[in-house]
Amino acid sequence: MNEQSCLFCKIILHQIPSYIIYEDEHTIAFLDIMPVDKGHTLVVPKIHSTNFINTNDEIISFVNITAKKVAKRIEIQLNTSAINFISNNGILVGQTIEHYHLHIIPKYSSNSGLQLPKNQIVVDSKKLTTLQKKLKIN
């Protein structure tokens, strides 16, 4: 997907309608049209990049600063401080739009909002040590 065919680039350029709640020089935040729950918002950098890993560090900072503003507004106006901040990086984990975005998903009760699966596994310390060596950043 390139910038010309990117849905979020079109929203940024106001070429297609959206429910914008915040906008500044680097970022835009608008309501997700298929919300997981009331107030589900997407924070999007104005510069096109495909996903979190491919996004410039400074831009990631701007996205997070905007996310905090939006979350504070949700907290006050929608009366919840239970919020998931999530970004899908790759088709396998559910990314459908190839323009980096951060989901802000408020939750209002234990059976609403985002339900993260609890399929955690118990791993022995030898395996964890091996993995630690492999992943350690020097």
Q: Is 117 in the site for ligand 5GP (CB under 6 A)?
A: no
Q: CB nearer to ligand 5GP: give 15 or 130.
A: 15
Binding mask 42-81 for ligand 5GP (x = CB under 6 A): ----------------------------------------
Q: Active-site residue 26, yes or no?
A: no
Q: Percentages helix, strand, coil for the chain, rounded to the nearest 5?
A: 35, 15, 50
Q: CB–CB of 40/105 below 8 Å? A: yes
In whole angstroms, give the CA distance from residue 40 to residue 132.
35
32 binds, among ligand 5GP, Zn ion, none (CB under 5 to 8 A by kind): ligand 5GP
Residue 89 CB, shortest distance to ligand 5GP, in Å, is: 9
Q: How many CB atoms lie within 10 A of CB 92?
A: 7
Q: Locate all alpha helices (DSSP H) within the chain, ordered by sequence.
A: 7-12, 57-78, 125-135
Residues noted as catalytic: 101
Contact residues for ligand 5GP (CB under 6 A)? 7, 18, 30-34, 88, 94-97
